[in-house]
Amino acid sequence: MFNTHKIGRNDPCWCKSGLKYKNCHESFDQKIADYKKHGVPVPRRDMIKTKEQIDGIREAGLINTAALDLVEREIKIGMSTEDINTMVHNFITERGGIPATLNYEGFPKSLCTSLNDEICHGIPDKNVILADGDIINVDITTIYNGYYADASRMFMLGNVKPEVKKFVEVVKECFELGVKAVKPWGRLGDIGDAINTHAKKHGYVVVRDIGGHGVGIKFHEDPYVCHVGKEGTGMLLAPGMVFTVEPMINMGKEEFYVDEKNGWTVYTVDGMPSAQFEVTLAVLEDGIEILTH
């Protein structure tokens, strides 16, 4: 819950901005306290980013977005997923960044490449060659000056089956509706409601057990962003929160399993395709800012 220990109006603000509390977060805290009084789950103070922190995440996001732009220009049939990994690793490190996935809890590569029926956490491999008709999610997280930025895109290669192409297009629509549902002083459930409603309308299934997350100071922070929800429920979306929207949606069944050999890659149980798009965004007083693309 939100920490509301007493601060004098002329004391330094808890956010370490250097401003007096009355000129910084006093009115914000009063608004949070009012929501809390009415039973609304509210974020902790450590979930509220400062302007300086958001600026840092934005800088990391510029490198991350440029890395995905590079993939979009260069990805082609016949290249290996390891080729993508090498290209992105070099791009990020040459710009002073660090690929966040590399050695994260033992993950062996600098990004995730999830192909066809892989929902997420696909591991780049020199023996996995992109073929005509493949769909692939490339998920990149960059650390720059200690700040994290996270995003992914889907790519369709060559002659993708019409039903699969439509599926990927609808997943992108679900993702865009989820982002559009994020509003200052809205609720976390609004995001999942928008995504799940559109997916169900087209006969697809949202993976509810793998979702978005707070990000910026660490790779994974609170809150957990479930992409199935009910409008008007869940945690308050307060200005200063930074998190990902990244719905993973299956063409067939929702159920999944994790590769026993590598311990990372998540697959659909029925072998049907899965797709995902992702951005990192910040909730602001007057709207949102997408920090990665």
pLDDT digits (tens, 9 = 90+) for 238-287: 999 999 999 999 999 999 999 999 999 999 999 999 999 999 999 999 99
In sequence order, what DSSP letters do the residues of the chain get, joined into one string? --------TTSBPTT-SSSBGGGTTHHHHHHHHHHHHTT-----GGGS--HHHHHHHHHHHHHHHHHHHHHHHH--TT-BHHHHHHHHHHHHHHTT-EETTTTGGG--SSSEEEETTEEE-PPP-TT-B--TT-EEEEEEEEEETTEEEEEEEEEE-SS--HHHHHHHHHHHHHHHHHHHT--TTEEHHHHHHHHHHHHHHTT-EE-TTS-EEE-SSSSSEEEEE-SS--TT-SSEE-TT-EEEE--EEESS-S-EEE-TTTS--EEETT---EEE-BEEEEEETTEEEE---
Q: Tell me, what amino acid is at 239?
A: P
Provide the mean pLDDT of the chain: 96
Among candidate residues 201, 182, 181, the one with its CA nearest the CA of residue 249: 201
pLDDT band at 4 (very low <50, low <70, confident <90, very high): very low
Q: Tell me, what amino acid is at 247?
A: P
Query: How many angstroms separate the CA atoms of 265 and 262, rounded?
Result: 7
Q: What's the pLDDT score for residue 284?
A: 98
Q: What's the pLDDT score for residue 5?
A: 57
Instruction: Give yes or no for residue 128 having a pLDDT over 50.
Output: yes
pLDDT digits (tens, 9 = 90+) for 187-202: 999 999 999 999 999 9
Instruction: Give yes or no for residue 62 having a pLDDT over 60.
Output: yes
Instruction: Give yes or no for residue 130 having a pLDDT over 80.
Output: yes
Among candidate residues 293, 265, 277, 292, the one with its CA nearest the CA of residue 115: 265
What are the structural domains of the chain? 21-288 (3.90.230.10)
Instruction: Give yes or no for residue 2 having a pLDDT over 50.
Output: no
Query: How many angstroms separate the CA atoms of 208 and 229, rounded?
Result: 9
Instruction: Taking residues 37-51, report their average pLDDT.
Output: 96
Q: What's the pLDDT score for residue 7?
A: 85
